[in-house]
Structure 1
Amino acid sequence: MPSPRPDDHTPWQILLIFLRLGLTSFGGPVAHLGYFRDEFVVRRRWLSERSYADLVGLCQFLPGPASSQVGIALGLSRAGYCGALAAWAGFTLPSALVLIALALGIASSAQVIPGGVLHGLKVVAVAVVAQAVWGMGRSLCASRGRVALMVVVTALVLWMPSVWTQVAVIAGAGVVGVWLFKPQQPVDPAPLTVDVSRRAALCCLGVFLALLAGLPLLAALWPSPTLKMVDAFYRSGALVFGGGHVVLPLLQAEVVPSGWVSNATFLAGYGATQAMPGPLFTFAAFLGASMQGPLSGWMGGLLALVAIFSSSFLLVFGALPFWTQLRHNLRMQAAMQGVNAAVVGLLLAALYQPVWTSAIAQPADFVLALLALLALMIFKLPAWLVVAACGLGGWWLS
């Protein structure tokens, strides 16, 4: 495996790498994982296929936005806490700043991107996810048992589509892995290392739980609009599994009945968020900037953004040190072989629903997706160039 470039280790370079991803990663969290795999497993060789799948499996277990947590963990592994912050900032701030500007009325329409271009971006997500499923499947489902487990997971997730089904099949796949698979090598040749001590990790987990329990109590004892706002967004980020679209009802229940944001504004902002690259949790920035109260505008948007993502930092910092040690255990490695097959199954299910069903509506869409897949897998064109070309292709088809 080629050694990584020296400049990959600096927070500044990590910021620039994730900034490019934050400007071009359309398609939602599943597509983001495909972009990350292409960038950090295939191109930059930061970690192996297996380590990447292990990391995705962990972040699927944690509440919060899985793709953002994977990015935070990758930044943490390269340049410590500053690298984690740089990765998050680069991936998150482009769409967050645009949404705050939209909330302030700089853009007068929720249709930030023309409909044809937006559809082309949905089509390219099909190619990105298909490439990730193929590459990860070849590496992680190398035996008949793991292929069978992948197929079963795909069928279960499509048959019973819910966040809890995803969590259940990952846990069940781990049990099946311990029972069926017998790993031979005790150590991954390219492990994901993090410079976080166990004591620091326990402190992070303690702070996560203290904020989760303490913020509602503080907001009740000292009725402050700002404190209530921080509590609402922190709980929304800390209690949602599956991220992205799953956080919508939680946020709506917090900001609409309270009168902070009208339902019309809420729906307009959510529509605009669909047209943005990067994580869907940046919708919090729009809501914070749109609020009626003492704290709104840029300050409100940034505070809501920090509040909803803070639990992700605490959970990643708290979980990774224990995870990196556990995964060297042979029984844990057997469990992770099952979990990795389940992750491929989850991606395969997501490739069909919602990625394929929301993008491929006519033969021309299928042709555009095939061309994008050819450009990515055969001609090895960079993902950002394929994204731009498919956006133009969608606009031309419309």
Structure 2
Amino acid sequence: MVKANEVESAYKVAKERYAEIGVDTEAMMEKLSKIKLSVHCWQGDDIHGFLNPEQELTGGIGVSGDYPGIARTPDELTGDLSKAFSLIPGNHKVALHTLYAVTDKKKDFDEIGPEDFKYWVDWAKKEGAGLDMNPTFFSHPMVKNNFTLASPEKDVRDYWIKVGKQSRAIANYFGEELGQQSVNNFWIPDGFKDNPIDKQGPRQRLIESLDEIFEKKYDEKNTIEAVEGKLFGTGIESYTVGSHLFYDNYAISRGKLWTIDAGHWHPTEDVSDKFSAFMPFGKGLMLHVSRPVRWDSDHVVIFDEALVRIMRSLVRDNELERTNIGLDFFDATINRVAAWVVGARATQKALLQAMLAPIDDLKKAELNFDFTTRLAVTEELKSYPFGAVWDEFCLRNNVPVGSDWLDDIHKYEQEVQFPRDAK
């Protein structure tokens, strides 16, 4: 177990090292503490939900693995989330989907309303957490021929339009009850497996469907919408209706947030380069931090170069205030609570490392075409003791330092998770 006095001693040295280059570690930890991550609930139950848990996953979504102890009930899922939050520094939010409604009535997706998320609001109040929303446009018989909001069939479109409208009422309820803005993220799986003749028609139908969903005005203090594109999905390799360019333009023209999922791009693209191209024109971003391995595989986020670049871009360009940072991955080959902890802590580490830099001085050097200083300093920063600052941040937030949190996970899975499979 890491000793507190050792953490504090190491931090004292690190604080002095950073002060030498004009970086205030205390201010940066304070800044990090104000950033709420949106932690996705579906990592905890492999995206089964509570409405139709036996329904096969559709929309090109798949989860690998069968690690024991999966959450199967609302109490189990919120219990797992509470355990994860006890190991992640700071106060955060939980992202929900329509299919996580908690009701004792038999309801279809388009009938789900605010009353069916009271369970989550009550839990969030006790936890001190916020809630974000996602209307579920997959894993349902009304997804016909890989189409929902862009379907040529009016009854299909109308069904999903109602699902979208209901989700907005739910998100508004979250905002009113919790006093935190709820981001409502829209992603649909619509597209063609092979080359279509008509590319304009589906997109025009999607515009009309979205416009109808967003017709009612809600106070943005309570909720705001985000729209999420994708390069392609399994089963829609040739044409995605909601492409990146489509939603980029829709977000700008309608005053919505644009969602950038790190796994929804071509593997050779650097998503961190997208932010500064969109932000001068757009309202803001919803970011889904994920780890694509060769494709949109949704591996657990780790502290890798891609994540570091993402956070550097947000920090260096002062875009954190207009960016909502969410997690989006699912891995059933490892302990599901541990997956949340690894991904969230990695994201926070990347944010902290990005903050611990003499950014103004580096920008000044760049403006003066002093690229030697820019390169030399950024290289030296890589070996600066940011880990000691991270450990101090964890200590102050009363969460385990280093890998000590893993002991909590092993105990939790033995006492709580594994016994579920025997029931």
Bigger fraction of residues in strand? 2
Structure with bigger helix share is: 1
The structure having more radius of gyration, on CA atoms, is 2
What's the TM-score, normalizing by structure 2?
Answer: 0.21
Query: Relative contact order (alpha carbons < 8 A, sep ≥ 6): 1 or 2 greater?
Result: 1
Relative to the length of structure 1, the TM-score reads: 0.22
